[in-house]
Structure 1
Amino acid sequence: MANPDAIIIGAGPAGLACAATMRGAGLTVTVFEKAGNVGSAWRRHYDRLHLHTDRSHSGLPGMDMPRAYSAYPSRLQVIEYLESYAARFDIRPVFGTEVSCLRRDGTQWCAQTASGPLSAPVAVVAIGIASAPYRPSWPGSEAYRGAIVHSSEYRNPAPYLGKRVLVVGMGNSGGEIALDLAEAGVNVALAVRGPVQILPRDLLGLPILTWTILYQHLPARLVDTINAPILRLALGSFEKLGLRRAAKGPRQMIDEDGRVPMIDVGTLGKIRDGSIKVRRGIDRLTNDCVVFDDGKSEGFDAIVLATGFRSDLRGLIPDMESVFDAYGRPRVTGQATDVPGLYFCGQTVSPTGQLREIGLEAQRLARDIGQYLARRRERRERLRVKAAFVTPS
């Protein structure tokens, strides 16, 4: 395998977008993917999943999503799109190859794999943020006799028919999984520990993302102040449903805390009609019951942890503490880090849509990496010319 200009780790949306834009800039790349196909995370998501961002704002650079797709594309449509994207730009990842370690060796980055090392002057880490499920535990978890699964393992309601199910967490996955179960007639409750923010998927006939993009250059507090009255009108008072409204508005929550508000695709309606019950946060478990932090207890046959993901990349790139925060998340994404030749793409949530942000980051990285490599070549050429004029003594 010839040494490329750049190594890209991951063949999800971020890795594919980076490969396409960098190759378009005349750079050679090698894409490593530990799974056997592109978009592996999307293949693991639950069956009913649809994008919460509309089709027109979700295409990657150089290729729009087909107009034949749903306004909010399904999981299978996203997989089909990623496969078509890779084919169109002739991106051929090295499948079934995990990069166990990425180290800087002089002016090169060396990726260690089971099939041997590969070096390049640039490394782009495009591992999706949904690669490391977070699984909290509570006192009594070991005694609980029911099934406890993470949302990444949930597929559809079939295994839960006739059972009592508690979904933990009211983010987008939790809200939609609870809705999926409720629509199938499953006895389901949502455990909601703290205050929440909720957005409608569409507002005044337009996708909510359209409004977010419109306001993207305004301060977060101002945006939330402007939007608060119309959001209350669109959603009603969800405090009456046993939910607490967060003090921070939706945009401020994303910008300051990295938390994405729940996009309502029908969950509030099922809470209003009683199909989905709302419960407080979990205090502890018994062999067949959940005890909530308000002291009430209830029996459940299964618990679905819609508790998100926490990716710590320090094990992948050791001895590079400066590029990570205290949790092992990159300090910057979509731009140069403070270590020459190291870049990240798609490693943070965005108020204007994750796929859209990935596309913007990939285009920016292709430009910046091209300039970085050009400067490297110029320096080497200057040194070569200088050395040619040195007369041996």
Structure 2
Amino acid sequence: MKHTVKNLIIGAGPSGLAVAGRLAEMKQPFLILEKGQHVGEAWYHHYERLHLHTDRTYSGLPHRPIPTTAPVFVPRLDVIKYWEEYADHYDLKPLFGQEVRRVQREGTSWITSTATDTFISENVIVCTGYNRVPHVPHWPGQELYKGTLLHSSTYKNAAPFRNKNVLVVGMGNSGAEIALELSETAGGTFISLRSPVNIVRRDLGGKPSQLSAIVMNAVLPDWAYDLLSRFVQKRTMGDLSAYGIHTPDYAPSAGIRRGRIPVLDIGTVDRIKAGAIQVKRDIEHFTPRGVQFVDGTRLEVDAVILATGYRARLGEFIPEVAPTLNERGCPDKLWYPQWPGLYFLGFSVPLTGILRGIKLESKKIVDHIVAKRS
């Protein structure tokens, strides 16, 4: 079936909702496509313990902030509830079960195809997310491993791993939190690190570190921000090399500008220092009962959880933009002059928080759409 719409939004996560809310406020027509069955679909599948890492004050959608009755760091189910109430307020009705297979330019229009429908639009706003596709590396011998092997995207809670030895591969925010939860009930918890990692406290002096980032980003040049960022990190985290964690040669703030999000620690480091979590080297290969690391040591584990991140991989359904995407399959601009009417939201990692960035950048996109039409 063919549909014609002025503005087509792909994805009903926070980016898609932000754009839809702004368009609704301006009485502009739009349609939302969502491959899942819910608003904020990805958050239905994340691990149960997940909370926002950013202050609720800076994590809300346009025009309707998160209520002040919510905790500072909002838990997963409350985030979902807030997004659903946002959608209800604006009477947003995404077409669910519509996974986009192709977006292409034809004349002055964009043609978006799913398995069942075709959508013709003047504008397409791609909001499929920074974390669209789980990244699952492969190691030699992996197929011989007899234990449980899963990506963190399918991890729910620690219950299935009680009294078992578990290796978490990767120490991003998800890996650090999963390891923290496992260390409370598992028989042994281990983290495999391939490279140095920046770790900062989620709270500084009783206040979210995001607030400091917003202030410093507004008043300091990059070089001064980096110096202060490194100083605060050293004062609050100390030297963790004795525990197998090495710090990169760039500050946490500089890492964010490179797309490398630091770990916002909520207790994992203390568990590592206490010996409840052991840090190991990178995996060289799997064995039938565990893994061998690059330093030659071996570890037998009942389960391996791959906290190895995600990729956006927009080139899979918008082939013509593939040459402009970075190694994660993300664009570096909100729009490009060579593709009029094609917009991207939710693919950057601002120093001051992804959700705050979505709110600010959604305004730029909608203002550009309205101004172009005028």
**Normalising by the residue count of structure 2, what TM-score does the alignment of the two structures yield?**
0.96
Paired with 1:175 and 1:6, the residues of 2 have a C-alpha distance of 39
**Matched ranges for 1:301-340 at <5 A:** 301-321=302-322, 323-325=324-326, 328-333=329-334, 335-340=335-340
> In the alignment, what sits opposite 1:344?
344
* 2:247 counterpart of 1:248: no
> After superposition, where does 1:210-225 map in structure 2 within 5 Å?
210-217=211-218, 218-225=220-227
Deviation at 1:327, TM superposition (A): 5.2
Match of 1:382 in 2: none
1:166·1:302 contact (CA, 8 Å) conserved in 2?
yes
| CA apart distance, 1:245 | 0.9
Alignment of 1:56-67 (within 5 A): 56-67=57-68
Partner residue in 2 for 1:226 = 228
For the 8 Å contact 1:323–1:338, the answer to whether it is kept is no
**Structure 2 CA distance for aligned equivalents of residues 259 and 228 of structure 1:** 15
- Hey, what's the Cα distance between the residues in 2 that align with 1:220 and 1:213? 13
Alpha carbons of 1:38 and 1:234: their partners in 2 closer, same or farther (altered >3 Å)?
same
Structure 2: segments with no counterpart, 5+ residues: none
Amino acid at match of 2:368: D
Measured in 2, the distance between the counterparts of 1:253 and 1:232 equals 15
Q: 1:379 is matched with which residue?
A: none
1:152-301 to 2 correspondences below 5 Å: 152-217=153-218, 218-256=220-258, 258-301=259-302
2:160 and 2:4 mapped to 1: Cα distance?
Answer: 48
What secondary structure does 1:253 align onto?
helix
Are 2:101 and 2:317, in contact at CA under 8 Å, matched by a contact in 1? yes
Q: Tell me how far apart the structure 1 counterparts of residues 138 and 280 of structure 2 sit (CA, whole Å).
A: 17
**Segment drifting more, 233-242 vs 65-74:** 233-242
Post-superposition CA distance 1:158-215 (Å, at most 9, x none):
1111211000111100000000101224411011111110010111222100011112
Distance in 2 of aligned mates of 1:190 and 1:50 = 21
TM-score (norm 1): 0.91
Q: How does 1:93-132 map to 2 (within 5 A)?
A: 93-132=94-133
Does structure 2 retain, via aligned residues, the 8 Å contact 1:189–1:279? yes
User: Structure 1 residue 6: deviation in Å?
Assistant: 0.6
**Structure 2 letter corresponding to 1:125:** V
Task: Count the aligned residue pairs.
Answer: 372
Match of 2:18 in 1: 17
Cα 1:82–1:313 shift into 2, 3 Å? same
Which segment is superposed worse, 8-17 or 179-188?
Answer: 179-188
SS of residue matched to 2:144: coil
Report the aligned-residue RMSD: 1.5
Query: Residue type of the partner of 1:93?
Result: P
Against the structure 1 CA distance between its residues 231 and 86, is the aligned structure 2 distance closer, same or farther, given a 3 Å change threshold? Answer: same
CA positional deviation for 1:299: 0.4
Letter in 2 for 1:240: A
Contact 1:191 1:281 survives alignment (8 Å): yes
Structure 1 residue 2 displacement after superposition: 5.8
1:361 aligns with 2:361: yes
CA distance in 2, matches of 1:204, 1:327: 34
SS of 2:227's partner is: helix
Is this contact kept in 2: 1:19–1:91, CA < 8 A? yes
Deviation at 1:233, TM superposition (A): 2.0
Aligned residues of 1:220 and 1:255 also touching (Cα < 8 A): no
DSSP 3-state at the match of 1:3? strand
Q: Is the 8 A contact 2:56 2:73 kept in 1?
A: yes
> Post-superposition shift, 1:331?
3.0
Structure 1 residue 231, shift from structure 2 partner: 2.4
Residues 36-62 of structure 1 show CA distances to partners (whole Å, capped at 9, x for unaligned) of 110000111000001110111111111
Shift of residue 253, structure 1, vs aligned partner:
0.7
* Mapped partners of 1:338, 1:325: distance in 2: 18
**Partner residue, 1:386:** none
